[in-house]
Amino acid sequence: MTLGAWTPLEWLALIEHELLLFAGVFFLIGLADELAMDCAWTWLRLRGRARTLRIHRENHRSAVLAGPAALFIPAWQEEGVLATTIAHALAVWPQRELRLYVGCYRNDSATAEAIMVGTHDDPRVRLVVHECDGPTTKADCLNRLYAAMEADERRSGRRYRMVLQHDAEDMVDPAALGLLDAALERADFVQLPVLPAPQPASRWIGSHYCEEFAEAHAKAMVVRGALGVALPAAGVGCAFSRELLGTIAAEMNGAGPFSVDSLTEDYELGLKIKAAGGTAWFLRARGEDGRLVATRACFPATLPQAVRQKARWIHGIALQGWDRLGWSGGPVERWMRLRDRRGPFAALVLFVAYLLLALTATLWLADLLGFGRPWEPSGVLAIVLWANLASFAWRALLRFAFTAREYGWAEGLRAVLRLPFANIIAIMAGRRAFAAYVATLLGARPRWDKTVHHVHAADLVAAETGG
């Protein structure tokens, strides 16, 4: 039979077969990658190298810092949450050695007012106004804060020991500052986990970040740290040695340690620390109350905002990262960079999988109506499909387990039910990231394509506990 003599149903069957091969094979490659990570994590657990520390919270909350500490909080149009972030940090971190450098732009008076409201006349806060209109990039705002810190050091004659970084919507952990200060005795860069706050008003969009961070920051980041490869900075809940930041800034001609042309300057900084010979530690610790010492925050609660944020991550880490950072390092380092950069291709494979579902449903309906099915899966293809089904079940089980550990079994079940929503967001974000990347290749400059925050994690925690 010639191709021209095929019926529309036979053409659909051919497309279904080819899509099955494409999606099935690449899902198997992804399965091999994830199983390798699972095995590495299990091995580390059995060897006692992936244990979570146990601490007494009050000992770290009231600890005297080993030296002055600077906290950078860059902001653009964050008047809705920034005052709460500052007030909470000042309340739970009473150490006098701490100073907050909070940055905004000259054309963002609402954010400047929010900074002053949250400060409550606390002398530990310094408002830094960028001399240009915003937004530029987050890295540019951070470098402005870095320059302000350097100016203070020259005036006082006293150099900071530690530099911390947080976002405008973060709820810091009371034990984090003392814990990070102690951890810098053995590392140049320390990263704490991030725990997104479940959002009752956005169970299917805003809360889907819970399971993603719960698994990534309990497994993948732990494995990276234990294997000694470069550890990406999350941009929140992280502490850097002042000396090492100065070294990196000097290598960038003194402009500051943050890459102003990058959308994910925190990710790049983590990799630069490794390249500069620095040591990194992904630090997981629980207090006597069983709660993880982590940064809590509310992530985007609407579909457009979630897509916008994840597109920025994919654009910065996968696409810009390929251009700017290359593939240096040994086999394990390259494996981790490949994992970081799989976002655009993963979005394509997921899109093919959902298109395949629609085609399969169409052919099944045609068969039900008596038109017959033009083909049946071969033995090899059937094995691929069953392997993919087993992989999906395994991934769902792990997603439930990691989420339930931090949020309880109910949120764990919702994490499994949210898988289709997470996949749709990933597909849409991949398309947006690719379009943005093409625009930069055509000459567009990257901008701080940030999301807007209206709800603070501290308010949700207070509502949950009745505080």
Strand 238-241 and strand 162-165: the pairing is antiparallel
Give the whole-angstrom CA distance, residue 345 versus residue 232: 21
CA distances from 224 to 51, 221, 301, 321, 374 (A): 14, 5, 30, 18, 48
For residue 462, the model assigns a pLDDT of: 78
Question: What value does the CA radius of gyration of the chain take, rounded to a whole number of Å?
Answer: 24
| Distance from chain centroid for Cα 436 | 19
Whole-structure pTM value:
0.92
CA distances from 355 to 204, 266, 348, 352 (A): 22, 35, 11, 5
- Rounded to a whole number, what is the distance in angstroms from the first to the last CA of the chain? 74
Give the whole-angstrom CA distance, residue 411 versus residue 399: 10
For residue 467, the model assigns a pLDDT of: 56
1-467 sits in which CATH class? alpha beta
For residue 4, the model assigns a pLDDT of: 56
Q: Average pLDDT by consecutive 10-residue portion of the chain (467 residues)? A: 64 81 91 95 92 93 95 96 96 96 96 95 96 92 97 96 97 97 96 96 95 97 94 96 95 88 92 93 95 95 95 94 88 94 94 89 75 67 88 95 97 97 97 93 81 86 70
Nearest Cα to Cα of residue 305 among 156, 106, 450: 450
For residue 186, the model assigns a pLDDT of: 94
Instruction: State the DSSP string of 190-232.
Output: EE--EEEPP-GGGTTTTTHHHHHHHHIIIIIHHHHHHHT----
Give the whole-angstrom CA distance, residue 347 versus residue 284: 30
